[in-house]
Protein backbone atom coordinates (compact mmCIF):
# COMPACT_ATOMS: atom_id res chain seq x y z
CA UNK A 1 0.00 0.00 0.00
CA UNK A 2 1.18 3.51 -0.88
CA UNK A 3 -0.19 6.16 1.53
CA UNK A 4 -1.53 9.31 -0.14
CA UNK A 5 -1.48 12.74 1.50
CA UNK A 6 -3.95 15.34 0.31
CA UNK A 7 -4.07 19.06 1.11
CA UNK A 8 -5.75 21.20 2.15
CA UNK A 9 -8.45 19.32 4.06
CA UNK A 10 -10.88 22.20 3.58
CA UNK A 11 -10.87 24.97 0.99
CA UNK A 12 -13.16 27.99 1.10
CA UNK A 13 -13.92 29.61 -2.24
CA UNK A 14 -16.54 31.53 -4.19
CA UNK A 15 -18.29 30.95 -7.49
CA UNK A 16 -15.91 31.98 -10.28
CA UNK A 17 -12.72 31.31 -8.29
CA UNK A 18 -9.94 29.02 -9.49
CA UNK A 19 -8.72 26.46 -6.95
CA UNK A 20 -5.99 23.85 -6.69
CA UNK A 21 -5.88 20.69 -4.57
CA UNK A 22 -2.63 18.81 -3.95
CA UNK A 23 -1.97 15.12 -3.53
CA UNK A 24 1.36 13.57 -2.61
CA UNK A 25 2.39 9.92 -2.78
CA UNK A 26 4.91 8.43 -0.38
CA UNK A 27 6.76 6.86 -3.33
CA UNK A 28 6.90 7.19 -7.10
CA UNK A 29 3.55 6.11 -8.59
CA UNK A 30 4.22 7.32 -12.14
CA UNK A 31 0.90 8.50 -13.63
CA UNK A 32 -1.38 6.10 -11.76
CA UNK A 33 -3.45 8.71 -9.98
CA UNK A 34 -7.19 9.37 -10.14
CA UNK A 35 -9.45 12.12 -8.82
CA UNK A 36 -13.02 11.69 -7.64
CA UNK A 37 -15.79 14.09 -6.68
CA UNK A 38 -18.27 13.15 -3.97
CA UNK A 39 -21.43 14.87 -2.82
CA UNK A 40 -23.24 14.08 0.44
CA UNK A 41 -25.17 10.83 0.40
CA UNK A 42 -23.83 9.83 -3.00
CA UNK A 43 -21.06 7.50 -4.18
CA UNK A 44 -17.95 9.13 -5.60
CA UNK A 45 -17.74 10.06 -9.27
CA UNK A 46 -14.55 9.52 -11.28
CA UNK A 47 -13.30 12.77 -12.82
CA UNK A 48 -9.70 12.16 -13.88
CA UNK A 49 -7.48 9.12 -14.38
CA UNK A 50 -3.84 8.62 -15.32
CA UNK A 51 -3.21 11.93 -13.53
CA UNK A 52 -4.48 14.17 -16.32
CA UNK A 53 -7.08 12.39 -18.50
CA UNK A 54 -10.64 13.66 -18.04
CA UNK A 55 -13.53 11.24 -18.15
CA UNK A 56 -16.39 11.93 -20.56
CA UNK A 57 -18.51 13.12 -17.62
CA UNK A 58 -15.99 15.66 -16.26
CA UNK A 59 -16.44 19.30 -17.31
CA UNK A 60 -13.49 20.89 -19.09
CA UNK A 61 -12.93 23.35 -16.20
CA UNK A 62 -11.35 20.43 -14.33
CA UNK A 63 -7.74 19.55 -15.01
CA UNK A 64 -5.14 17.29 -13.47
CA UNK A 65 -1.38 17.37 -13.59
CA UNK A 66 1.70 15.80 -12.08
CA UNK A 67 3.63 12.55 -12.08
CA UNK A 68 5.83 10.61 -9.70
CA UNK A 69 4.92 11.81 -6.22
CA UNK A 70 3.30 15.24 -6.70
CA UNK A 71 -0.12 15.78 -8.27
CA UNK A 72 -2.68 18.55 -8.49
CA UNK A 73 -6.35 18.90 -9.33
CA UNK A 74 -7.34 22.33 -10.62
CA UNK A 75 -10.79 23.75 -11.09
CA UNK A 76 -11.08 26.95 -13.07
CA UNK A 77 -14.09 29.21 -12.58
CA UNK A 78 -15.86 27.28 -9.80
CA UNK A 79 -19.53 26.58 -10.44
CA UNK A 80 -22.18 25.96 -7.76
CA UNK A 81 -22.21 22.26 -8.70
CA UNK A 82 -18.48 22.00 -7.89
CA UNK A 83 -18.88 22.49 -4.14
CA UNK A 84 -18.18 18.95 -2.97
CA UNK A 85 -15.42 16.78 -1.52
CA UNK A 86 -12.56 15.63 -3.75
CA UNK A 87 -10.40 12.56 -3.26
CA UNK A 88 -7.22 11.47 -4.96
CA UNK A 89 -6.45 7.76 -5.38
CA UNK A 90 -3.39 5.79 -6.35
CA UNK A 91 -4.39 2.66 -8.24
CA UNK A 92 -2.63 -0.45 -9.49
CA UNK A 93 -3.31 -4.18 -9.61
CA UNK A 94 -2.73 -4.62 -5.89
CA UNK A 95 -3.97 -1.49 -4.15
CA UNK A 96 -6.30 1.49 -4.60
CA UNK A 97 -5.55 3.80 -1.67
CA UNK A 98 -7.30 7.15 -1.26
CA UNK A 99 -6.14 10.48 0.06
CA UNK A 100 -7.97 11.97 3.04
CA UNK A 101 -10.15 14.25 0.92
CA UNK A 102 -10.56 17.99 0.37
CA UNK A 103 -13.87 19.67 1.01
CA UNK A 104 -14.48 22.65 -1.25
CA UNK A 105 -16.98 24.91 0.46
CA UNK A 106 -18.38 28.37 0.02
CA UNK B 1 -25.81 -0.04 -18.87
CA UNK B 2 -23.92 -1.82 -16.10
CA UNK B 3 -25.16 -1.17 -12.57
CA UNK B 4 -23.98 -2.49 -9.23
CA UNK B 5 -26.83 -3.54 -6.95
CA UNK B 6 -25.93 -3.87 -3.29
CA UNK B 7 -27.76 -5.64 -0.49
CA UNK B 8 -29.66 -3.76 2.18
CA UNK B 9 -28.66 -2.13 5.45
CA UNK B 10 -27.44 -4.27 8.33
CA UNK B 11 -27.33 -3.85 12.10
CA UNK B 12 -24.79 -6.09 13.84
CA UNK B 13 -23.52 -6.78 17.34
CA UNK B 14 -19.85 -6.26 18.23
CA UNK B 15 -17.84 -9.40 17.59
CA UNK B 16 -20.17 -10.71 14.88
CA UNK B 17 -19.70 -10.74 11.09
CA UNK B 18 -21.46 -9.04 8.20
CA UNK B 19 -21.72 -10.15 4.59
CA UNK B 20 -22.63 -7.60 1.92
CA UNK B 21 -23.39 -8.53 -1.67
CA UNK B 22 -22.84 -6.63 -4.91
CA UNK B 23 -24.55 -7.91 -8.06
CA UNK B 24 -23.46 -6.77 -11.51
CA UNK B 25 -26.67 -5.92 -13.35
CA UNK B 26 -26.81 -5.30 -17.10
CA UNK B 27 -23.51 -7.02 -17.69
CA UNK B 28 -21.27 -9.76 -16.45
CA UNK B 29 -18.55 -9.88 -13.85
CA UNK B 30 -15.63 -9.78 -16.26
CA UNK B 31 -13.36 -7.13 -14.79
CA UNK B 32 -12.88 -6.33 -11.13
CA UNK B 33 -14.93 -5.33 -8.12
CA UNK B 34 -13.47 -3.46 -5.18
CA UNK B 35 -14.83 -2.53 -1.77
CA UNK B 36 -14.56 0.91 -0.21
CA UNK B 37 -16.02 2.07 3.07
CA UNK B 38 -16.84 5.49 4.48
CA UNK B 39 -17.46 6.07 8.18
CA UNK B 40 -19.90 8.86 9.05
CA UNK B 41 -18.36 12.21 8.16
CA UNK B 42 -15.07 10.60 7.16
CA UNK B 43 -13.13 9.89 3.99
CA UNK B 44 -12.97 6.92 1.65
CA UNK B 45 -11.10 3.83 2.76
CA UNK B 46 -10.11 1.13 0.26
CA UNK B 47 -10.59 -2.33 1.73
CA UNK B 48 -9.78 -4.77 -1.04
CA UNK B 49 -10.89 -6.15 -4.36
CA UNK B 50 -11.19 -9.13 -6.66
CA UNK B 51 -10.47 -9.47 -10.35
CA UNK B 52 -12.71 -11.87 -12.25
CA UNK B 53 -9.74 -13.70 -13.75
CA UNK B 54 -8.15 -14.49 -10.41
CA UNK B 55 -9.38 -16.49 -7.45
CA UNK B 56 -7.36 -14.61 -4.82
CA UNK B 57 -8.44 -11.11 -3.82
CA UNK B 58 -6.14 -8.23 -2.90
CA UNK B 59 -6.65 -6.86 0.61
CA UNK B 60 -5.62 -3.63 2.25
CA UNK B 61 -3.13 -4.28 5.03
CA UNK B 62 -5.55 -2.97 7.64
CA UNK B 63 -8.19 -5.57 6.80
CA UNK B 64 -6.14 -8.63 5.86
CA UNK B 65 -6.92 -10.60 9.01
CA UNK B 66 -10.72 -10.22 9.04
CA UNK B 67 -11.87 -9.50 5.47
CA UNK B 68 -13.07 -12.03 2.94
CA UNK B 69 -14.00 -11.22 -0.66
CA UNK B 70 -15.53 -13.92 -2.82
CA UNK B 71 -17.43 -14.13 -6.09
CA UNK B 72 -20.20 -16.24 -7.58
CA UNK B 73 -19.62 -15.89 -11.30
CA UNK B 74 -22.84 -17.75 -12.13
CA UNK B 75 -24.84 -14.87 -10.64
CA UNK B 76 -22.27 -12.09 -11.26
CA UNK B 77 -22.27 -11.36 -7.54
CA UNK B 78 -19.32 -10.40 -5.35
CA UNK B 79 -19.47 -10.73 -1.59
CA UNK B 80 -17.60 -8.85 1.14
CA UNK B 81 -17.53 -10.38 4.59
CA UNK B 82 -16.00 -8.54 7.54
CA UNK B 83 -15.59 -10.39 10.82
CA UNK B 84 -14.91 -9.45 14.45
CA UNK B 85 -16.96 -6.30 14.04
CA UNK B 86 -16.45 -3.34 16.34
CA UNK B 87 -18.17 0.03 16.62
CA UNK B 88 -15.49 1.63 14.43
CA UNK B 89 -16.68 -0.53 11.52
CA UNK B 90 -19.94 1.43 11.39
CA UNK B 91 -19.87 2.86 7.88
CA UNK B 92 -21.35 2.87 4.42
CA UNK B 93 -19.78 0.09 2.37
CA UNK B 94 -19.53 0.66 -1.38
CA UNK B 95 -18.69 -1.79 -4.11
CA UNK B 96 -17.20 -0.37 -7.30
CA UNK B 97 -16.11 -1.70 -10.66
CA UNK B 98 -12.62 -1.34 -12.06
CA UNK B 99 -11.68 -2.30 -15.61
CA UNK B 100 -8.66 -4.40 -16.39
CA UNK B 101 -6.87 -4.12 -19.73
CA UNK B 102 -3.85 -6.34 -20.06
CA UNK B 103 -1.62 -5.66 -17.10
CA UNK B 104 -3.32 -2.35 -16.25
CA UNK B 105 -5.88 -2.14 -13.47
CA UNK B 106 -7.92 1.04 -13.77
CA UNK B 107 -9.71 3.18 -11.13
CA UNK B 108 -13.32 2.75 -10.07
CA UNK B 109 -15.66 3.90 -12.82
CA UNK B 110 -19.02 2.49 -11.66
CA UNK B 111 -20.20 2.48 -8.05
CA UNK B 112 -22.99 0.88 -6.09
CA UNK B 113 -25.20 3.10 -3.95
CA UNK B 114 -23.70 1.78 -0.73
CA UNK B 115 -24.82 -0.42 2.16
CA UNK B 116 -25.05 1.04 5.65
CA UNK B 117 -23.61 -1.27 8.30
CA UNK B 118 -24.21 -0.27 11.91
CA UNK B 119 -22.33 -2.05 14.70
CA UNK B 120 -23.97 -1.52 18.04
CA UNK B 121 -24.66 -3.46 21.19
- Dihedral, B19, B20, B25, B28 alpha carbons, nearest 10: -50
pLDDT digits (tens, 9 = 90+) for A14-46: 999 999 999 999 999 999 999 999 999 999 999
Cβ-based neighbours of B90, under 8 Å, separated by 6 or more = B39, B40, B117, B118, B119, B120
Residue B92: pLDDT band by 50, 70, 90 thresholds? very high
Question: How far A46 CA sits from the closest chain B CA (Å)?
Answer: 6
* Model pLDDT, residue A31: 96
* Model pLDDT, residue A2: 84
Nearest to A49 among B43, B46, B106 (CB): B106
Mean of pLDDT values over B68-76: 91
Task: Say whether B109 and A100 touch across the interface (CB within 8 A).
Answer: no
d(CA A52, CA A49): 6
d(CA B104, CA A61): 27
Indicate if the pLDDT at residue A50 is higher than 80: yes
d(CA B73, CA B77): 6
Task: Say whether B98 and A96 touch across the interface (CB within 8 A).
Answer: yes
Task: Say whether B108 and A44 touch across the interface (CB within 8 A).
Answer: yes
Mean of pLDDT values over B26-55: 90
Amino acid sequence: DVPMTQSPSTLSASVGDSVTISCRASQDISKWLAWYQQKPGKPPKLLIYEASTLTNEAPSRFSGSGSGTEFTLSISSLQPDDFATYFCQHYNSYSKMFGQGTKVEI
Amino acid sequence: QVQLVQSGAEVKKPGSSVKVSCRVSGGTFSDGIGWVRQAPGQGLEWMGGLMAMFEEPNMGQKFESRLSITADKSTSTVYMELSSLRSEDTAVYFCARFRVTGAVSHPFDIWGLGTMVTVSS
